[in-house]
Copies of this chain bind each other. A is one copy, B any other.
Amino acid sequence: MSRRTRSDSSLQGIPEATIARLPLYVRALYALADRDIASVSSEELAAAAGVNSAKLRKDLSHLGSYGTRGVGYDVDYLIYQVSRELGLTQDWPVVIVGAGNLGRALANYGGFASRGFRVAALLDADPLVIGSVIAGHRVRAADEIERVVADSRVMIGAITVPAIAAQGICDRLVAAGVTSILNFAPVVLNVPDGVDVRKVDLSIELQILAFHAQRRSVVQVLHRGERDAGVPAGNGISGRTGRALALNGDGQVAAEAVGT
């Protein structure tokens, strides 16, 4: 036993999938707390977070035994425990590089300040933008990256610059000592070991949506086709899938023709 007070499981090995869901639980818990709900069952909390209750219980069990059998979880207590596990009980200064639309959105983002994150500085390379005030922050020159990181003990950087500039900014952030990077630019960043990069990509999410939407159309059309004995209908669901049909009716052969 010795000095291992921490719940054993938490130091080594909370599954990545679990970690990705913890923020969901924190948010759902805060919503409950706002409604003055003091206690919640795994079933209710799971519903509020949009997951399955067995998964929720298993996730929480990785942090420790914070529930009471027959009763549920104490909302405030669980908020504290999950927040602590995520590191939200401490203060995280973040530097945002790129004061374009996304950088501004981020600086103005409400969930930002409310969970321990604080905008240490908002930087940009454009002389026209430098000096203007956005979300209460005077935009500073991108040249000041190193100074800002050092002065404010920044450990997290958000990159919201155009794709072409992202790797350069990333290199400077890393050189200045930033070890966690949130990348909004649509490029794959190269970083040394020990630096953690997560990316948020609007375009990728849209493309995934498009895939499923297309698949729904195709399936509908195929069902219709089977019923109609194999002749692809010229007009699927109210005309929306016109081009999809042209491509998917015999995609393979069309592809061969185009590609080779």
Contacts and interface: CB of A to CB of B under 8 A. Distances in A.
A109 B27 CA distance: 28
A206 B89 CA distance: 14
Contacts of A213: 87, 92, 155-156, 179-180, 196
22 contacts: A6-B252, A11-B218, A20-B204, A23-B203, A23-B207, A66-B259, A74-B260, A86-B210, A87-B207, A87-B210, A90-B243, A91-B243, A100-B105, A102-B105, A105-B105, A106-B202, A109-B203, A117-B210, A153-B238, A153-B240, A180-B209, A198-B209
B196 A209 contact: yes
Contact of A255 (B81, B90, B259): B81
A253 interface: yes
A214 B87 contact: yes
B202 A260 contact: no
How many copies altogether?
Answer: 2
A208 B23 contact: yes
Given A87-B244, A250-B5, A19 B203 contact: no
A248 interface: yes
B247 A86 contact: no
Interface in A236-260: 238-241, 243-244, 247-248, 250-253, 255, 258-260
Given A50-B188, A87-B214, A111-B202, A76 B259 contact: yes
Interface residues of A, number: 95
A77 B260 CA distance: 7
A186 interface: yes
A200 interface: yes
A20 B87 contact: no
Interface string A44-64: 000011100000000000001
5 tightest A-B CB contacts, nearest first = A87-B214, A101-B105, A77-B259, A111-B203, A50-B188
Interface in A65-101: 66, 74, 76-77, 80-81, 84-92, 94, 100-101
A92 B74 CA distance: 46
Contacts of A106: 202
